[in-house]
Structure 1
Amino acid sequence: MPHGRYSLHDPHDHTPLGEEHFQCAPGPSGWRYVAQRTSPSGDHAGSVDLTLDELGRPLRVELHAASWQVKGAALDGVTWVRTDPTGEHATEGNVGAHAFTGASPAFLVAISRLLRLEPGAGAVRVRLVAFTDPVLAPLTLDQSWALRGRAGHTTDTGPLVVDEYEVSELDTGEVRTVHIAGDVVLAAPGIELEDLESPPSSFAARPLQHPL
């Protein structure tokens, strides 16, 4: 069960945004990731709880930030409830999208698991609902994902397979590179893996059973 710490920063000006202390593991139903987020000063800043099914779809997501809360799941696309700080004005949302995304590295792992790309297979377009900081406002966006390379590395704990993804934001044209090993993000714009106390977990190989 990997557990460790990511540092988060603005990918453009490198302003520190805090840290995410996480643990994650595959299980009989899929994969679960839980994390606590802290601000640059070390104060508690929120939490992430994401569970995927065996096909990579979000069975449940629960986010907390700045007194806001979001709960969602894959239902008729994706469906969620966002609750304001007072708890008096909850709003519901539903979009014909494939999955959720946001600032947490967990979402990069989740999307890679959903797509299950192979090197040289070409880019795949995916529609997502992003919950943006600092108040978890929902935003529908489209990305293009391509697996540009897969490399094996020898480590003290055994072989490590690293996938290199090219992720394009289709509304802005911004392109970024994301490196993922199993269920851990090794590096991505705005994300650095600072500490990992056990090796990444490997997902069981299963063929993709649902079209995007």
Structure 2
Amino acid sequence: MPRGRYSLHDPHDHTSLGSEHFHCATGPSGWRYVSQLTAPSGDHTGSVDLTLDELGRPIRLQLHAASWQVKGAALDGVTWVRTDPTGEHATEGNVAAHAFTGASPAFYVALARLVRPSKGEGAKRVRLVGFTSPVLAPRTFDQAWALLGRTTHDTDSGPLAVDEYQVSDLETGEQHSVHLAGDVVLSAPGIELEELESPPSVFS
């Protein structure tokens, strides 16, 4: 069960946004990721709880940021409930999309599992509903994922396969690279892996 810490920063000016302390695990029914987010001061700022089925579909999502909360799942596309800070009003949403996304590294792993592009086959398009802190407002947009290649590195615990993906925002044309080893993000815009207590899990 990988357990560790990511540091988060603004990808444009590199301002520190805090840390995400996580653990995740594969199982016969899919994958689960749980994390706690802290500000640079150390104050708790939110949490992520994401469960995927064996095909990479989100069967349960719970996000907390400040006093906002989102609960969602893949149902008739994707469906969610967003609760305001007072808890008095909840809004429901449903979009004909494939999955959720957000600032957490968990979503890179989840989307790589869902899209599963093969090297040389071109980019695969996916429609997403994204939630961003601090108010977790939903936004629907399209991305394209392409697998650029796989490299294998020797480590103390054996060979480590690292996949490099190119992720494109089809609305803005912006592109960036993401490096994944199993269910751990090694690097992505605004994300750095700072600590890892055990090797990444390998998906079947």
Length-normalised TM-score, structure 2 = 0.99
- Count of residue pairs brought into register by the alignment: 204
Q: Name the residue aligned to 2:108.
A: 108
Q: Name the residue aligned to 1:46.
A: 46
> 2:89 matched to 1:89?
yes
TM-superposed CA distance for 1:120, in Å, is 1.1
Unpaired stretches in structure 2, ≥5 consecutive residues: none
Letter in 1 for 2:117: L
Please give the alpha-carbon distance, in whole angstroms, between the structure 1 residues aligned to 2:3 and 2:199: 9
Please give the alpha-carbon distance, in whole angstroms, between the structure 2 residues aligned to 1:118 and 1:155: 25
Q: Name the residue aligned to 1:70.
A: 70
Q: Name the residue aligned to 2:150.
A: 150
Letter in 2 for 1:48: V
Residue-by-residue CA offset, 1:47-67 (whole Å, 9 max, x unaligned): 000000000000100000011
Q: Name the residue aligned to 1:57.
A: 57
Please give the alpha-carbon distance, in whole angstroms, between the structure 1 residues aligned to 2:82 and 2:28: 29
SS at match of 2:55: coil
SS at match of 1:120: coil
Length-normalised TM-score, structure 1 = 0.95
TM-superposed CA distance for 1:28, in Å, is 1.8
| Alignment RMSD | 0.5
Q: Name the residue aligned to 1:125.
A: 125
Please give the alpha-carbon distance, in whole angstroms, between the structure 1 residues aligned to 2:122 and 2:150: 14
Residue-by-residue CA offset, 1:165-193 (whole Å, 9 max, x unaligned): 00011111111000000000000010000
Please give the alpha-carbon distance, in whole angstroms, between the structure 1 residues aligned to 2:118 and 2:171: 25
Letter in 2 for 1:155: T
> 2:200 matched to 1:200?
yes
> 2:105 matched to 1:99?
no
Please give the alpha-carbon distance, in whole angstroms, between the structure 1 residues aligned to 2:152 and 2:121: 19
Q: Which runs of 4+ in 1 moved over 2 A?
A: none
> 2:16 matched to 1:16?
yes
Residues 139-148 or 113-122, more deviating: 113-122
Please give the alpha-carbon distance, in whole angstroms, between the structure 2 residues aligned to 1:78 and 1:180: 25
Q: Name the residue aligned to 2:177.
A: 177
SS at match of 1:111: helix
TM-superposed CA distance for 1:40, in Å, is 1.1
Residue-by-residue CA offset, 1:12-39 (whole Å, 9 max, x unaligned): 1001111000000001210000000001
Unpaired stretches in structure 1, ≥5 consecutive residues: 205-212
Q: Name the residue aligned to 2:4.
A: 4
TM-superposed CA distance for 1:68, in Å, is 0.3
Please give the alpha-carbon distance, in whole angstroms, between the structure 1 residues aligned to 2:78 and 2:168: 21
Please give the alpha-carbon distance, in whole angstroms, between the structure 1 residues aligned to 2:123 and 2:111: 13
Residue-by-residue CA offset, 1:126-158 (whole Å, 9 max, x unaligned): 100000111111000111110001111110111
Please give the alpha-carbon distance, in whole angstroms, between the structure 1 residues aligned to 2:125 and 2:174: 14
